[in-house]
Structure 1
Amino acid sequence: MTIRLDYFKHADPLPLQALTAISGYLRETDLDPQLLSLMELRASQLNGCAYCIDMHSKDLLALDVSLPRIHLLTAWREANVYSPAERAALAWTEAVTRLPDGETLQRCYVELSEHFSSRAITQLTFAVIVINSWNRLSVAFGREPGQYRPGDLDGAMKRALERFADLRLGN
């Protein structure tokens, strides 16, 4: 793929900082980092985002996730390497990414609520929303995979989160 536009170079910084701040916030919650990365990888697979697939596969490896759990993610329903809570979160990821009929969403929500608190469900949903946003930017503008290394974005997420915390506090 050829890069069409370097959105980090040409976009107004505020929307990118907002997305980065949400990503940073999610890293600071009680959500399991492996679950969060599995969800990000699954949404990226659904959206065909090569850059994010590369990124989240590397993040999972850095978290010492076994190769079968990474490689079998596209067939998670048939693989026995995911817990019931992970399966519920992956179903929710797919439902929020694809936005199927209300009946499907309701079924996924009920299953999710058996494993997660309302606060965690909200956080999981924001995780799906933000990765879908990053996927759309990266696919639309042709972001090249291969350069990302785990931890590359930690500083940017921390700075963006601090900036938004300062705005919330009126600083």
Structure 2
Amino acid sequence: MTDMKRLSWHEVAPAGAKALFGVHHYAMSGTDLPHELIHLVFLRVSQINGCAHCIDLHSRDLLRTMPIEKVWLIPVWREVPYFFSDQYRAALAWAEEVTNVSETHASDAEYAAAAAAFGPKDLVDLTIVIAAMNAFNRLGAPFRLPVAAKP
């Protein structure tokens, strides 16, 4: 990786940023999903996509409500099922499935598991949450948004 300065996408395309932040606003205040679950999904999607800025941001968000032991085990959540509720595990599985849709094709098995854990509106909202974070990651990672953490 180089130290080349990248564009500030939200300054270069403020109308696009406003539209994307509108989806984020809907995710945070227009759904009935718990904020902790939303931040959990935001973090897992960002880990998969390798967006340092978003990993830093959403780890900090989760640490306000979740013990650090749970946060650092999110990448291996399947190995510690007793750390996460059935609904949180379904959300994490669906987040991985949707984020990797080019490989998974949103399998029937994972869709059925997500649909069993969430009502129709919540499942659509969860998928919007996942899609929004994937969009942010596809801007944050290529434009190398800085992290708040300092070495």
Task: Indicate yes or no: 2:73 matched with 1:72.
Answer: yes
CA RMSD of aligned residues (A): 1.4
TM-score, normalised by the number of residues in structure 1: 0.80
Structure 1 position 101, deviation (Å): 3.5
Q: Which amino acid in structure 1 is aligned with residue 123 of structure 2?
A: I
Task: Indicate yes or no: 2:28 matched with 1:27.
Answer: yes
Contact preservation (8 Å) 1:68, 1:81? no
**Aligned positions of 1:47-126 closer than 5 A:** 47-62=49-64, 64-79=65-80, 80-99=82-101, 100-102=103-105, 105-126=107-128
Give a deviation string over 1:52-79, Cα, whole Å, max 9, x none.
Answer: 00000011112x2111110000000001
Task: Provide the C-alpha distance between the structure 2 equivalents of 1:52 and 1:18, rounded to a whole number of angstroms.
Answer: 18
TM-score, normalised by the number of residues in structure 2: 0.90
Partner of 2:138: 136
Task: Indicate yes or no: 2:40 matched with 1:38.
Answer: yes
Any idea what SS the aligned residue of 1:68 has?
helix
Task: Provide the C-alpha distance between the structure 1 equivalents of 2:135 and 2:22, rounded to a whole number of angstroms.
Answer: 13
- Compared with structure 1, are the counterparts of its residues 101 and 74 closer, same or farther at alpha carbon in structure 2 (3 Å cutoff)? closer
Contact preservation (8 Å) 1:92, 1:109? yes
- Compared with structure 1, are the counterparts of its residues 101 and 44 closer, same or farther at alpha carbon in structure 2 (3 Å cutoff)? closer
Contact preservation (8 Å) 1:37, 1:59? yes
Task: Provide the C-alpha distance between the structure 2 equivalents of 1:7 and 1:26, rounded to a whole number of angstroms.
Answer: 21
5+ unaligned residues in a row in structure 1: which ranges? 148-171
Contact preservation (8 Å) 2:10, 2:16? no
Any idea what SS the aligned residue of 1:142 has?
coil
5+ unaligned residues in a row in structure 2: which ranges? none
Task: Provide the C-alpha distance between the structure 2 equivalents of 1:68 and 1:109, rounded to a whole number of angstroms.
Answer: 28
Structure 1 segments (4+ residues) deviating >2 Å: none
Q: Which amino acid in structure 2 is aligned with residue 50 of structure 1?
A: A
State the aligned residue count. Answer: 144
Structure 1 position 142, deviation (Å): 1.0
Any idea what SS the aligned residue of 1:65 has?
coil
Q: Which amino acid in structure 1 is aligned with residue 118 of structure 2?
A: F
Partner of 2:19: 18
Structure 1 position 85, deviation (Å): 0.9
